[in-house]
């Protein structure tokens, strides 16, 4: 079936990157298999992460089918695009259907993108992760590829105004060596290995990032353990729990 929506979206995204003169660094693209199914597991610090995670798979000629919350597919603007790009809706109250759809895509030779943290990390470190990515890779017998993005939070992240016109922002996309879980492997153990690899990649992306916050007012995008003013993991977990209860600042789920 021809790809009528994905290629124009990629071209539009690359045009935006050029317009903003983003300084994009991509490493480890050889770890994305050129053929066959694979699960691409990425960290989550921005609403734009799927764009840059997809960019990381481009050198291998792969189009990533991301698993995303079902509400995005109901939006009158994003919905047609998401469906046209064959992304996979996730209803968190009834996840079996999305799991089966993702499994079928993997067995059909597709690359499926997953954000194992489920929601954006307000602390900008790797949160506790769901084991769905590991279970999918094991069930489909495909590689599980760790990836991290860094710098995307400076464009648009949770709790802060979007700054989509910010120019010259460095963006790092690092892809690690894949894990190859088998059907007999414990999903939680594989997830722990995945989290360790993603954390190591993120540590490197942060330490090698070419810019630092300009004064305390700019420290919001830097994690607390590196001297920034982002919430600590403990404070971020409390904010996530508030959102899950539905008592965010506007009285609705955050």
The model's pLDDT over 168-188, given as tens digits with 9 standing for 90+, comes to 999 999 999 999 999 999 999
Inside any domain, residue 222: yes
CA angle centred on 69, ends 160 and 91, rounded to 5°: 140
What is the structure's pLDDT at 35? 98
Name 23's bridge partners: 170
Q: What is the dihedral of CA 220, 72, 8, 109, to 10 degrees?
A: 100
SS3 state at 38: strand
Q: State the pLDDT at residue 248.
A: 55
> What average pLDDT is seen over the chain?
94
Residue 252 lies in a domain: no
Range 63-77 average pLDDT: 95
247 versus 65: the higher-pLDDT residue is 65
| Residue 183 maps to a domain | yes
Residue 227 clears pLDDT 50, i.e. is over it: yes
pLDDT at 252: 31
Helices (H), the chain: 6-20, 49-57, 70-74, 78-84, 96-107, 132-140, 187-207, 233-245
Of 91 and 19, the structure prediction assigns the larger pLDDT to 19
The kind and range of the H/E element at 122 are none
CA angle 117, 80, 83 (to 5 degrees): 55
pLDDT digits (tens, 9 = 90+) for 88-143: 999 877 789 999 999 999 999 999 999 999 999 999 999 999 999 999 999 999 99
The residue segments making up the domain with residue 151 are 6-245
Q: DSSP letter string over 165-212? A: T--S-EEEEEE-PPB---TTS-HHHHHHHHHHHHHHHHHHHHHT-S--
The SS3 assignment for 64 reads strand
How much is the average pLDDT of 78-87? 96
Per-residue tokens: 129: 């992760």
pLDDT band (50, 70, 90) for residue 254: very low
Whether the predicted pLDDT of 2 surpasses 90: no
pLDDT for the residue 189? 98
Q: How many domains does the chain have?
A: 1
Model confidence over 44-54: pLDDT tens digits? 999 999 999 99
pLDDT band at 251 (very low <50, low <70, confident <90, very high): very low
Tell me, what CATH number does 81's domain have?
3.40.1130
User: In the predicted model, is pLDDT for residue 67 greater than 90?
Assistant: yes
Please give the Cα distance from 146 to 199 (Å, whole number).
10
Rounded to whole angstroms, the Cα distance separating 42 from 103 reads 18
* Average pLDDT of the residues in 186-205: 98
Is 250 inside a domain boundary? Answer: no
Residues of the chain above pLDDT 70, percent:
96
The yes-or-no verdict on residue 80 having pLDDT over 60 is yes
Question: Quick one: which of 242, 134, 110 has its CA closest to 182?
Answer: 134
Is 192 a residue whose pLDDT tops 50? yes
Q: What is the pTM of this model?
A: 0.94
Q: Would you give the DSSP letter of residue 232? A: P
Instruction: Label residue 152 by pLDDT band (50, 70, 90).
Output: very high
């Amino acid at each position: 079936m021809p790809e009528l929506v994905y290629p124009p979206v990629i071209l539009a995204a690359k045009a935006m990157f050029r317009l903003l003169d983003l300084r994009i660094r991509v490493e480890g693209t050889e770890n994305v298999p050129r053929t066959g199914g694979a699960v691409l597991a990425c960290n989550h610090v921005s609403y734009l992460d799927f764009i840059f995670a997809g960019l990381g798979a481009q050198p291998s000629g792969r189009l990533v089918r991301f698993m995303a919350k079902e509400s995005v597919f109901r939006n009158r603007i994003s919905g047609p695009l998401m469906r046209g790009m064959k992304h996979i809706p996730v209803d968190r109250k009834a996840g079996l259907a999305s799991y089966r759809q993702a499994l079928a895509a993997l067995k059909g030779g597709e690359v499926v993108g997953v954000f194992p943290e489920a929601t954006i990390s307000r602390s900008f470190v790797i949160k506790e992760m769901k084991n769905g990515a590991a279970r999918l890779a094991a069930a489909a017998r495909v590689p599980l590829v760790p990836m991290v993005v860094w710098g995307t939070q400076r464009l648009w992240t949770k709790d802060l105004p979007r700054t989509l016109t910010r120019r010259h922002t460095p963006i790092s996309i690092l892809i690690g060596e894949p894990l190859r879980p088998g059907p007999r492997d414990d999903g939680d153990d594989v997830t722990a290995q995945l989290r360790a690899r993603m954390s190591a990649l993120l540590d490197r992306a942060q330490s090698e990032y070419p810019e630092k916050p300009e004064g305390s007012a700019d420290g919001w995008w830097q994690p607390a353990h590196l001297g920034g003013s982002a919430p600590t993991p403990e404070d971020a977990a409390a904010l996530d729990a508030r959102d899950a209860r539905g008592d965010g600042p506007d009285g609705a789920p955050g």
